[in-house]
């Protein structure tokens, strides 16, 4: 019984990973430009400053070929646009 539950849990977790990975942020010029456009349209100056900083760090990380860091900064910028 416990074995069946564990197998079901592993299969459920394995099936959700590809769906999450498909919706992940992509670190490329087009995505950064789209994000920059959204940030530029913001009216809350406090949120805009924080998001602009994250976009700049994402651009720097992309230039340094640190894609994981780039994605993290892009996600932080997106979160910062709605948070606070």
- Tell me the DSSP string of 25-67: ---SHHHHHHHHHHHHT---HHHHHHHHHHHHHHHHHHHTT-H
pLDDT tens readout for residues 42-76: 999 999 999 999 999 999 999 999 999 999 999 99
What's this model's pTM, rounded to 2 decimal places? 0.69
Residue 4 inside a domain? The answer is no
Residue 9 inside a domain? The answer is no
pLDDT tens readout for residues 8-18: 666 666 555 44
Residue 10 inside a domain? The answer is no
Q: How many independent structural domains does the chain possess?
A: 1
Selected residue with higher pLDDT from 82 and 5:
82
Residue 39 inside a domain? The answer is yes
Residue 11 inside a domain? The answer is no
Rounded Cα gap, residues 52 and 58, in angstroms: 10
Residue 7 inside a domain? The answer is no
Give the pLDDT band of residue 25 (cuts 50, 70, 90): confident
Domain coverage including residue 59: 26-82
């Amino acid at each position: 019984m416990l074995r069946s539950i564990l197998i079901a849990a592993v299969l459920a977790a394995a099936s959700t990973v590809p769906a999450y990975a498909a919706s992940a942020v992509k670190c490329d010029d087009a995505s950064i430009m789209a994000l920059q456009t959204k940030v530029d349209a913001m009216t809350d100056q406090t949120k805009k400053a924080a998001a602009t900083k994250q976009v700049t760090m994402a651009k720097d990380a992309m230039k340094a070929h640190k894609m994981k860091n780039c994605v993290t900064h892009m996600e932080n910028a997106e979160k910062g646009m709605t948070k606070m």
